[in-house]
Amino acid sequence: MRLSTSISTVCFTAILACSGTLLTRAMAAQESKQVADGRVHYLETCQLCHGEDGKRGAGFQTPIWGEGTMIGTKFGNAQALIDYMQLMPFNDPTLLDDNQKIAVVAFMLAQHGAIKPSEVLDPAKATAIPIK
């Protein structure tokens, strides 16, 4: 009976792991290339300070998107966030070029719900995109 329970547990764990992978792939398939690229740049350059999920990283303890964030009150619209990103990352603002920074902003806005993950952030229209 114990062997059967162990095998069932292993199988269930494997199914959950595969489901998570499939869910992640499905989410990535729904992202615009810009948002997907922004995710990659965020994970490579921003997650150390801000955390993988935008919450309580090693250098910044306030969430940068989602519940409990100040993104809307601090920036108000996408253009203000793009402008602020010129200072990022603090250790070396030249690590990302302008297009990569815009992609990170698109990823952040998609995580926050200000744009759909399938959308592309057009910097020429960024002042018209509110952040709440």
Whether the per-residue pLDDT at 47 is higher than 80: the answer is yes
Q: What pLDDT sits at residue 103?
A: 98
Distance CA 57, CA 67 (A): 16
29 — pLDDT class (breaks 50, 70, 90): low
Same domain, 68 and 124: yes
Same domain, 101 and 36: yes
Same domain, 36 and 93: yes
Under a CB-based contact definition with an 8 Å cutoff, are residues 115 and 106 in contact?
Answer: yes
Could you tell me which of 26, 99, 72 has the C-alpha nearest to residue 63? Answer: 72
**Dihedral-angle region of residue 51 (phi above 0 means left; psi in -120 to 50 means alpha; beta otherwise):** left
Same domain, 24 and 73: no
Domain count, the chain: 2
Computed over every residue of the chain, the mean pLDDT equals: 83
Same domain, 50 and 1: no
Domain that holds residue 5: 1-30
Distance CA 73, CA 62 (A): 13
Which pair of structure tokens corresponds to residue 28? 């990535």
Whether the per-residue pLDDT at 11 is higher than 50: the answer is no
Same domain, 86 and 100: yes
pLDDT tens digit sequence for 96-132: 999 999 999 999 999 999 999 999 999 999 999 999 9
Under a CB-based contact definition with an 8 Å cutoff, are residues 78 and 127 in contact?
Answer: yes
CATH of the domain at 72: 1.10.760.10
Q: What pLDDT sits at residue 25?
A: 47
Same domain, 44 and 78: yes
